[in-house]
Structure 1
């Protein structure tokens, strides 16, 4: 069976991000359609699978293990399974990107809180 999910029918978090989990539709992937303001992003976390990001617009700083990475519009970032990571919108404009999870459900474990001055997102990124 085919499905179409209309953007207007999705439940968005206060920061405009929404989550798709493929298990409800027979799809083997899940994703977050991210739309964040400057300074927003999830806390340090891991997944038992790889995660891939496609930056649609904006600038984003990633922390992957102990390495800092910068990505912007059009870039693709891949982080292997079980690798601690987080990201933050580092630009002056909203950050839009797709965070692709290589699993039919989003599974993530938060490792600690964000540094002072950065906004930690809530339920749309799972529970710590």
Structure 2
């Protein structure tokens, strides 16, 4: 099983295809008021929230999320999140695909 040393992760994005893995990861640190625009994927995306208070938007749902929570967006569901602060958020985002395929909706 491969080990990816932290010093080799330049952007926080790990494409599974580069490591013979079936998933991809994003190590996310978002400042208060920030997060990605609305988008969707043809596979599940799962977030493990390590630190922070965030608002997740999944389709028509608005969810208040905090450290320790896990959020799952099913395939094709539009989603985004915003860090509500007061500090920087820290999450691991798991893409159920060896490559990241994103359709930006805004």
Q: Tell me the TM-score normalized by structure 2.
A: 0.95
- Which 4+ runs in 1 deviate beyond 3 A? none
TM-score by length of 1: 0.79
Residue 43 of structure 1: aligned partner: 37
Following superposition, the deviation at residue 9 of structure 1 comes to 2.5
- Structure 2: 5+ residue runs without aligned partners? none
Q: How much does 1:102 deviate?
A: 0.4
1:117 maps to what in 2? none
- For the residues of structure 2 that align with 1:33 and 1:79, how far apart are their CA atoms? 17
Aligned residue pairs total 106
CA RMSD of aligned residues (A): 1.0
Q: Does 1:83 align with 2:82?
A: no
Distance 2:4 2:74 in 1: 28
For 2:3, the equivalent position in structure 1 comes to 4
Query: With CA pairs under 8 Å and 6+ residues apart, which has the higher RCO, 1 or 2?
Result: 2
